[in-house]
Amino acid sequence: MGFLGRLFGSTYETVDVARARELLDGGAVLVDVRTTQEYRAGHAPAARHIPLDALGTRQRELSKDRPVVTVCRSGARSANAARRLATAGYQAASLRGGMTAWQRAGERVVAKNGRPGTVA
C-alpha cells in the first residue's frame, strides 16, 4: 500500500486487461459502471451492471470478501468507482482503458440478449 493508502486507509489498483482477467479468473467480480444505454450496447459477458450514479446505494450488493474490478468506457468513471469502493472497505481495482481496452485486447463484448456488442 502506498503512502496515500496508508494515510487515508484505502487504495485501489489500476490494472490492464491481462491483470483484470487474472483477477476475474481468481474470483473477482467485474462491475460495469457505465450508463444503461452504454451497457446494453456492449459489455463483458460476466459483468454486473451498477451505474456509477447508483453505486452509493447498491455497493452493498457486492461482497467485501471478493475483489471488485470496475470498468467504464475509458477508465475515468471506473477509477472514481474503485476509489469509492476502496474507501468503503472493498478490495478494488479499475480497468485501465475501460471497455475500449477490453475489446482491443480481443476479450468478448456482448449486447443485450447475448448478441455481439460494441463499445460506443
Q: Which three cell numbers stand for residue 14?
A: 489500476
Residues 61 and 110: their CA atoms lie apart, in Å, by: 23
Q: Is 62 a catalytic residue?
A: no
CB atoms < 10 A from the CB of 52, how many?
Answer: 19
Sheet of 48-49: strand order equals 13-15, 92-95, 68-71, 29-32, 48-49
Identify the active-site residue in 17, 29, 31, 72. 72
Residue 64 per-residue DSSP state? T
Q: Which residues are catalytic?
A: 72
